[in-house]
Amino acid sequence: MSRISYVNGRYVPHRSALVHVEDRGYQFADGVYEVVAVHKGKLVDEQGHLDRLDRSLWELRIAPPMSRSALRVVMRELLRRNRLRQGIIYIQVTRGVARRDHPFPVDATPSIVMTVALKPPPDPLVLETGKRVVSVPEIRWGRCDIKSTSLLPNVLAKQQAREVGAYEAWFVDGQGVVSEGASTNAWIVTRDGQLVTRPTGNEILGGITRASVLELARKEGIELIERPFTLAEAKEAREAFITSATSYVLPIVQIDDAVIGNGKPGSVSRRLFEAYRVYMEGEGAEA
């Protein structure tokens, strides 16, 4: 069965899922996106992702290409046509096709595309080993809260991580403060057992998984605080982990050359990994 994608009102074979060369997404990265996990046939945190999509569009003054209810229908239809039960759905909206010129075109219609991809569910094996991150200088713009398709610094950072065999790169600003990962939010557990993650603001993307994990941590009675933390503090931490819709809760056991804790995923990371796995099948699942 060949993969089906959605392009501006049509369900098309993936190989012919095309947009025009003068789409402003292609020319200027003038667009936004969302990635929603599909677990056991259900969308995880759909409402949060669609709320963030609306917010990103509003910030860039791009008109929503369709109503929320229509979008939800298309998402489900795409899952059905692809018989997708485990993976992700990718949604991208751009300002549309127009003759190349920087200011907003007066008459462009926003473009919307959706694709799906297979992806395995959270793998408990990662609790045995964990992953590594490397630090990279924060070189991004001042509106990282907008989920824009303009991801060049993130692409370069992720490549740098891959080249040294690390899973993720953490952006670190001039003051030594960790912003977030190239495609994940960053968390630590301090020596005295406090769970720490940076507050939302213009410097980071307000992760939907981050918000859900914060809520789960509260319910678990884990002591937590939203505050910025430095790379130096992270390297001294008892635990570290990252979250995203595609990485779920992923323990980190090394940051640059520093081994975290005893080099194995710690107990708070394990608890939250498990809590999030349960959440994906229960409360967080939307049919």
Q: How far apart are the first and last CA of the chain?
A: 23
Between residues 94 and 244, which has the closer beta carbon with respect to ligand PMP?
244
Between residues 155 and 232, which has the closer beta carbon with respect to ligand PMP?
155
Smallest gap from Cβ 100 to ligand PMP, in A, equals 27
Between residues 126 and 205, which has the closer beta carbon with respect to ligand PMP?
205
Q: Are 225 and 192 in contact (CB under 8 A)?
A: no
Smallest gap from Cβ 199 to ligand PMP, in A, equals 14
Between CA 267 and CA 153 the distance in angstroms is: 33
Smallest gap from Cβ 74 to ligand PMP, in A, equals 20
Smallest gap from Cβ 192 to ligand PMP, in A, equals 26
172 closest CA partner among 207, 146, 139: 139
Smallest gap from Cβ 14 to ligand PMP, in A, equals 22
Q: Which residue type is seen at 135?
A: S
Between residues 27 and 183, which has the closer beta carbon with respect to ligand PMP?
183
Between CA 129 and CA 10 the distance in angstroms is: 43
Between residues 89 and 245, which has the closer beta carbon with respect to ligand PMP?
245
Q: Which of 40, 131, 147, 235 is catalytic?
A: 147
The token duo for 101 is 């010129």
Side-by-side strand order, sheet with 31-39: 10-13, 4-7, 111-118, 87-94, 31-39, 42-44, 285-286
Tell how far CA 20 is from the center of its chain.
Answer: 26
144 closest CA partner among 168, 115, 116, 173: 173
- Distances in Å between the Cα of 194 and the Cα atoms of 20, 26, 138, 208, 277 are 50, 43, 25, 21, 22
Smallest gap from Cβ 208 to ligand PMP, in A, equals 4
- Distances in Å between the Cα of 223 and the Cα atoms of 32, 188, 189, 194 are 34, 12, 10, 5
Residue 122 gets which letter from DSSP? P
> Is 147 known to be catalytic?
yes
Q: Which residues bind ligand PMP (CB under 6 A)?
A: 35, 154, 180, 183-185, 205, 207-210, 243-245
Between residues 181 and 266, which has the closer beta carbon with respect to ligand PMP?
181
Q: Are 163 and 136 in contact (CB under 8 A)?
A: no
- Catalytic residue set: 147
